[in-house]
Amino acid sequence: MPTEEELCCAYNCSRGTVRRALQHLAQQGFIRARKGSGTFASHRTGRQSGSTVACIVPNVLNSEIARFVHALSAELIERGHGLNLMVTNERVKNEQFIIDELVRNEKNIFGVLKFPTQIACEQDHRARLREAGIPCVVINDFWTDCSLDHHVAYDEQAAVNMVVDHLVELGHERIGLLDSHVSPRVRAITAYRDALRRHGLPPDEKLMLLGDPGDIPALDRLYHKDGLNPTALITVYDTIAVRAVAGLRQIGLRVPEDVSVANTNGEPMTMGHMDFTTVVLPDEKTIAKALEILENWTEDAKPQHEVIKPEFHVGRSTGPCAEVHADILTEAPQRKEVV
């Protein structure tokens, strides 16, 4: 479409009037704006409804979700849509209520972006949205089958490969992995094992540590006089990365002088003087693709599955491999093993 300035000249009106007109057309689904490219006419063969996009998330404490929602809100404003953020607090009853409300008021929303929430009920809830004819795009689901739904996700395998390649290049061979026992990233764990094998490093299950993402990892399971004492740790959330550094300091190990820490899911961040090495999630590209699917949605459209490669940021939390100082490590802890 013509630019705002060209429309002002063509119709002899102010820029504010043009912007209000464009916003109204966007809300009706006639046009869509692409940041940095311009405004384009939309293909209106699909379902057209309200101008609000519903975003279902399990919580807003997760930094990955918080960043996504922040970027989504800005993008929806650009496109003339509203945002209805719906938080389940990871309770089945809450999510059931949310799905019921969406089905009951389906004409009031433009579409749904859904993070996986209650895994046990995930497929049933998506099926209800499909049956109601509500456009839905699943975001970053690495746990359940998404073959029947539109799905946009960052390339988790590429993220793990980036981190492992970086650490191996620095000379690390004993590379541990910290994940959550609440909902372990099975595909990330598989990618971690495969990446180690690709470099000729046989994976050792003793180098993996699962724990609560909200707690400092029990690193004394990994670091003791009789332990494998990994020289590098991979974390799957930035919150785990921060707590890992705190845990290493508690047992007298420095980052990155003694142990390198690299994260597969986050954004460049600092902790004190430290700039973390991390995979940066492609939120803007993920959002743009998800909204494109919603804007061009038709009931008979085949599910689209888009995997977007993230970027990699090298910070000061990783460095050349060095032996862990055995003289400061304690004896092997006597802990009850939890299977």
Q: Is residue 47 part of a domain?
A: no
Q: Is residue 338 part of a domain?
A: no
Q: Does 162 share its domain with 275?
A: yes
Q: Does 135 share its domain with 64?
A: yes
Q: Does 195 share its domain with 298?
A: no
Helix residue spans in the chain (DSSP H): 4-11, 15-27, 63-79, 92-104, 122-131, 156-169, 186-198, 238-250, 283-295
Q: Does 178 share its domain with 262?
A: yes
Per-residue pLDDT tens over the stretch 310-336:
999 999 999 999 877 665 566 555 544
- The whole-number pLDDT of residue 238 equals 87
Q: Is residue 46 part of a domain?
A: no
The CATH code of the domain that includes 71 is: 3.40.50.2300
Q: Is residue 200 part of a domain?
A: yes
Stated pTM of the model? 0.79
- The whole-number pLDDT of residue 280 equals 95
Q: Does 183 share its domain with 74?
A: no
Q: Does 267 share its domain with 184?
A: yes
Total domains in the chain come to 3
DSSP 226: T
Q: Is residue 217 part of a domain?
A: yes
pLDDT tens, per residue, the chain with 339 residues: 898 888 898 888 998 888 888 877 776 667 777 767 788 886 554 445 568 999 999 998 888 899 999 999 999 988 888 999 999 998 999 999 999 999 998 878 889 999 998 778 899 999 999 999 999 999 999 888 999 999 999 999 999 999 999 999 999 999 999 998 877 888 899 999 999 999 999 999 999 998 877 788 888 888 888 788 999 999 998 889 999 999 999 888 999 999 999 999 988 876 666 789 999 999 999 999 999 999 888 888 899 999 999 999 999 999 999 877 665 566 555 544 443
The answer to whether residues 252 and 328 touch, using CB atoms and an 8 Å cutoff, is yes
Range of the domain at 163: 156-281+314-328
Question: Encoding tokens for residue 206?
Answer: 């003793």
As to burial, measured by CB atoms within 10 angstroms (0-12 exposed, 13-18 middle, 19+ buried), residue 159 is: buried
The answer to whether residues 331 and 182 touch, using CB atoms and an 8 Å cutoff, is no
Q: Is the peptide bond before 256 cis (omega within 30 degrees of 0)?
A: yes
Q: Is residue 336 part of a domain?
A: no
Question: How far does CA 336 lie from the centroid of its chain?
Answer: 33
Sign, CA dihedral 188-194-199-201, equals positive
Buried b (16+ CB within 10 A) or exposed e, 207-243: bbbbbebeebbebbebbbeebebbbbbbbbbbbbbbb
- How many C-beta neighbours within 10 Å does residue 259 have? 29
- How many C-beta neighbours within 10 Å does residue 110 have? 25
- The whole-number pLDDT of residue 185 equals 85
Per-residue pLDDT tens over the stretch 74-99:
999 888 889 999 999 989 999 999 99
Cα dihedral angle (30, 33, 34, 39), rounded to 10 degrees?
80
